[in-house]
Structure 1
Amino acid sequence: ETLAQAVVRRCADEIFEPPAIRSRAAFEAAVARRTDFSLRAQQVMDDLADWFGRAVHLRGRLKELQRAFPEAIGDARAQLDSLLAEDCVDTIPSAHWARVTIYLQALERRLERLANKPQRDAQCQQQIHAVRGKEALPLNAAARWIEEEWRVALFAQELKAQGGPSAATLQRALSASAAQSAR
């Protein structure tokens, strides 16, 4: 039920713009978009079903690889857990929603390659942790999405990261966030 409510909130906010419904005309315009709402809700549910299905597969792989590669698996598990956290429907920004599948695919590729190149995986993981530490960034932080794209660039280049992610761009985003928090 919590998930269903989150889907309804997300779709209503995207389609109806509830704060703007202050007149009869705005209400009638919203009613006219109810089909759009249904289509968007179906798409969100399809996305979630795909993500959760991938997560089940990934969790199985994480369990298989845990003993051999505990550090890499801990990092991968933290990424998966935070990406699909209980509040993900409410907190994943619309601009990044469509890329979540890519982030999950990149995680799959990382796990596929881990046994063949554990040193490379450790180096990539170290690059990320050197910039942001070991704690996962929240889903509503701009830096989080730079990190996800950087992970695509590091672990699954063929999936084509967007926005030119790097240690420097992640550091700038973290610094900007810290400066904004200090205000």
Structure 2
Amino acid sequence: MATIKSLCVYCGSSPGRSEVYADAARALAGALVERNIRLVYGGAGIGIMGILADRVLQLGGEVIGVIPKALSHKEVAHANLSQIIVTASMHERKMRMAELSDGFIALPGGIGTLEELFEIWTWAQLGFHRKPCGVLNVAGYYDGLLAFLDHVLAEQFVSRRYHGLLMVETGPDALLERYVAFQAPEVKRWVEEGEI
């Protein structure tokens, strides 16, 4: 059983074209606060990012934002968080978010969200962490990506063991229940920390 005190959520700095994405962010916010789970996210006050953070705060939850100095104006750093951490680089941002979190969830977002999701999933494959990784597949947003990942599995560019490290659900409660029950599989660490 995993202890989940804080979760990192990757999501878009755009609201997307449908209100369903904002609704999903609010639903996830409610599920986090109900379970007393702190939100760790990219620190912006706009798009799905801002909607998620605002709702957690409205419900009395704790929110830590992590944003690189160079993006604090473009992504409009949220002004009312429990804590804001400003980093020197994107790499430092992602590392800090990972350190602060007991698991990772991707809501709908753009290429930045995808990059963050794939990096943290790769870190799990490499044995750099033993934390749950998942996707909230809101309104079929990730259907095409998930079909491609099944193709990658079928073509034997990823093993079933690593493919299975990415959990997928359509609602936050089902995903969070899986996170609490998560037991990381034994994964041989490919490289040691000093080697990278």
Q: TM-score, normalised by structure 2?
A: 0.27
Return the structure number with greater strand share: 2
Q: TM-score, normalised by structure 1?
A: 0.28
Name the larger-Rg structure. 1
Return the structure number with greater helix share: 1
Which structure carries more relative contact order (alpha carbon 8 Å, separation 6+)?
2
